DNA sequence: GATGAATGAGAATTCATTCAT
DNA sequence: AATGAATGAATTCTCATTCAT
């Protein structure tokens, strides 16, 4: 899971490429051109294009795990944690459009089992964190418990994904963090006891 | 918007192809082979591959408009309408996996403006219908009104999309209609007054 | 050499097509579309595309023979005949751009022996007529005779072709007849005794 | 405007191909086969087929500019210069049939603006050189001046082109240099005072 | 580490032509 | 006469990858 400077450069450039114009734009040619090296040079650093995609996912997962660890260790009410987590995520996507573009496009990763497995894991991990927070919130009597933590987290995840998707389709023409705050208000109203 | 028999056959085959193995599998060669005609024969029926994709969307839109019209004309409580609509949609996707695979993969349609425009319209139309039902429900005092109809419909759409996406990623290994009913229970609990 | 109405329509449309955008634009599809019939209908009237090209040439040759016969029968000085012929030809090309485009593009007819043979014949016929006029002019002491009639006619033909070619390349943006008159003045000065 | 070895090879092969059987024979397949590399290898050296055609023209233009520069610097009477130039050009075409076939077939370059622009420039450049020589000849009292230099150069260019064209149509069955000399005699007679 | 040249497989599309109706 | 459907061959071009240097 450790990447060299060049490997990171390649991965990041690949992410940008995908974010910009979709997976079809991620070709070795475009990639190498954007970096400024020869096509064949790419193969010094990654065995194949598939490995670059795996690299993207692994980088993303690492990042998310870091975020989640921070969150778990945080001392705060469940409400604060949940808000914190969602707003942080929106901020992250707003600052890293490319990642947003890549991570919610399961389609891109359908060709290979290793890829779809990774995407699935990332989704699961994420859900687990939210479920954890909500369960805690229910036990602390902050959140309603007539809906299971799992179902609740499902609704939240769905909304999160949809807002990011719409933001992408709208070509980033609205303020994601702003809309994210509005969404949080809704979610808060819905989950609080 | 009227398609000949052959055009419908091509569109349906294209949908199946995409659903099966993703957009990358949708080549004129695969398409013509699956139908059993020559590659060039495809071009007698569609000017280009792009037009086939537009055909898919137009077919889907037509279908959805039909569904929505039925719904609008229906005499029922907002709760019933909403349940009816969601369950119907799950049933439709369960029976038309391919369409589900295609319609929630905005990524596929990013290459061309005409395509993304269509996808956007379909999403909008859909949201409008749900908003309409919820507003009615709020006025009839069936649904809570501390959350706007728009926000609520947003949560619902997000959940709907997420469940279908997970079902696809899980390679249809769970019963979508079953899970859809469970989701409906959650939604009902959340929206009712 | 007798063509039906439809055949003539096809030939004329073919000429226009070539004149407009070059031989590459002469496809059965474009042809049938411009006429307003189905592609396959063309084959009712011509056995193959080659026969259409042959038709173009045959039509043109007929026309030219007619022009030449008129000229031969005309009672006038050689100078008048030559002027008449050249100006007439420019007028004809100005009015029939398409024909000009086709007839000076030997390239188009290189694929098939039957075609290039025809083109060669047309060129020869033409030269013969000019040679005839010049010889007469020399015998009548109107034209210089230190240059053979053949060489002189060669210079004239070359100039005629070049002016039409330039006119085509310039996309008909200058007045061919006007320039033709100027060219005639030059020729007259050069040939007269 | 500098070409690699391989690029020159491709351009030359393309010229040969066109000269042999016309532009229709210039396909990437034929080209690569004649060279002995894979089709896709061509694209390492030229972005597209259009660029190969542009390459042909640019190579030709370079060559011609070289010839013209030599001529301008030459110390000689206008008559000698003109003869020298024409005979040199015939010699060049006789030795480079392929180039002759290509360069006088404006038709071939009609598809693209960049191409026809180049062809037009080459024609213009050429004419300018001849006009220059003739003007000098008129001022030195070698050439008649009752016909403008421009008109005279036009006649000469027309004749030059026609002779080459006929030589091509005759499938190179006559001696171009021989005929060129005869043509020169005619031109000399016509232009001299 | 990096490059340039090459490759084979495959992509979308076009074209002239045929044939049953 | 004309049409609609189909075909096979060909065309330009792209792509991931390899290899010698």
Residues B165-183: pLDDT tens digits?
889 888 889 999 999 999 9
CA of D39: nucleotide with nearest C1': E7
Check CB contact under 8 Å for B155 and A186.
yes
Q: Which two tokens stand for residue A96?
A: 């890293």
Q: Does pLDDT of B37 surpass 90?
A: yes
φ, ψ dihedrals at A110, nearest 5°: -80, -20
CA of C41: nucleotide with nearest C1': F2
Average pLDDT over residues B109-134: 87
Question: What is the CATH architecture of B56-191?
Answer: Orthogonal Bundle (1.10)
Instruction: Please choose, from the candidates D8, D168, D166, the residue with its C-alpha nearest in 3D space to the C-alpha of residue D97.
Output: D168
Are there at least 3 beta-carbon pairs closer than 8 Å between A and C?
A: no
Q: Which two tokens stand for residue C188?
A: 């007259």
- Identify the pLDDT of residue B1: 55
Q: For B46 and E21, how far is CA from C1' in angstroms?
A: 23
- Identify the pLDDT of residue C10: 96
Check CB contact under 8 Å for A123 and B166.
yes
Burial D132-164 (b: 16+ CB within 10 A, else e): bbbbbbbeeebbbeebbbebbbbbbbbbbbbbb
Cβ contacts of residue C111 below 8 Å, gap of 6+?
Answer: D21, D22, D24
Comparing alpha-carbon positions, the chain B residue that sits nearest to A167 is B120
Instruction: Please choose, from the candidates B86, B105, B106, the residue with its C-alpha nearest in 3D space to the C-alpha of residue B176.
Output: B86
> Higher model confidence: residue A71 or residue A145?
A145
Instruction: Please choose, from the candidates D107, D91, D99, D104, the residue with its C-alpha nearest in 3D space to the C-alpha of residue D55.
Output: D99
pTM: 0.89
Check CB contact under 8 Å for B107 and A165.
no
Which residue numbers of D have CB closer than 8 Å to C's CBs?
Answer: 21-24, 105-108, 110-111, 116, 119-120, 123, 146-148, 151-152, 154-155, 157-163, 165-166, 168-169, 182-183, 186-187, 189-190
pLDDT tens-digit profile of D117-172? 888 888 888 899 999 999 999 999 999 999 999 999 999 999 999 999 889 888 88
Average pLDDT over residues B68-83: 90
* Residue among D111, D147, D162 minimizing CB distance to C190: D147
* Residue among A162, A168, A186 minimizing CB distance to B157: A162
Per the listing, tokens 């096809």 go with C10
Q: Does pLDDT of C177 surpass 60?
A: yes
pLDDT range class, residue D1, cuts 50, 70, 90: low
- CA–CA separation, D43 vs D57, rounded Å? 19
Average pLDDT over residues C178-187: 96
**Chain C residues closer than 8 Å to D21 by CB:** 110-111
- CA–CA separation, D184 vs D193, rounded Å? 15
Q: For C113 and E19, how far is CA from C1' in angstroms?
A: 30
State whether the beta carbon of C48 lies below 7 angstroms from any atom of strand E.
yes
Q: Which two tokens stand for residue B147?
A: 């959350």
Q: Does pLDDT of B110 surpass 80?
A: no
State whether the beta carbon of D38 lies below 7 angstroms from any atom of strand E.
yes
pLDDT range class, residue C40, cuts 50, 70, 90: very high
Stated length of chain A: 193
Q: Does pLDDT of B106 surpass 80?
A: no
pLDDT tens-digit profile of D3-61? 999 999 999 999 999 888 888 889 999 999 999 999 999 999 999 999 999 999 998 88
Q: For B41 and F7, how far is CA from C1' in angstroms?
A: 8
Check CB contact under 8 Å for A157 and B162.
yes
Q: Which two tokens stand for residue C125?
A: 């016929």
Percent of chain B residues topping a pLDDT of 70: 99
* Residue among B107, B151, B190 minimizing CB distance to A23: B107
Q: For C130 and F11, how far is CA from C1' in angstroms?
A: 44
- CA–CA separation, C61 vs D125, rounded Å? 35
**Chain C residues closer than 8 Å to D171 by CB:** none
Percent of chain A residues topping a pLDDT of 90: 63
Q: Residues near chain F (nucleic strand), Cβ < 7 A? A: A 24, 26-29, 39-40, 42-43, 48-50; B 4, 6, 32, 37-41, 43-45; C 4, 6, 37-41, 43-45; D 26-30, 39-40, 43, 47-50
> Higher model confidence: residue C186 or residue A109?
C186
pLDDT tens-digit profile of C94-118? 988 888 877 777 777 777 888 888 8
Are there at least 3 beta-carbon pairs closer than 8 Å between B and A?
A: yes
- Identify the pLDDT of residue C131: 95
Percent of chain A residues topping a pLDDT of 70: 99
């Amino acid at each position: 899971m450790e990447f060299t400077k060049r490997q990171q450069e390649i991965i990041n450039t690949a992410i940008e490429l995908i974010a910009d114009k979709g997976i079809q734009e991620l070709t070795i040619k475009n990639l190498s051109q954007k970096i400024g090296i020869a096509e064949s040079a790419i193969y010094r650093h990654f065995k194949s294009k598939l490995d670059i995609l795996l690299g993207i996912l692994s980088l993303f997962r690492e990042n998310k795990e870091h975020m989640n660890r921070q969150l778990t260790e945080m001392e705060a009410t469940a409400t604060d944690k949940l808000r914190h987590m969602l707003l942080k995520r929106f901020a992250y996507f707003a600052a890293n459009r490319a990642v947003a573009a890549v991570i919610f496009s399961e389609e891109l990763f359908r060709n290979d089992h290793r890829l779809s497995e990774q995407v699935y894991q990332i989704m699961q991990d994420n859900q687990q964190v939210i479920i954890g927070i909500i369960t805690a919130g229910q036990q602390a009597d902050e959140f309603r418990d007539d809906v299971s933590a799992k179902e609740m987290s499902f609704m939240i995840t769905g909304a999160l994904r949809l807002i990011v998707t719409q933001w992408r389709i709208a070509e980033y023409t609205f303020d994601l963090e702003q809309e994210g705050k509005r969404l949080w208000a809704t979610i808060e109203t819905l989950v609080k006891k």
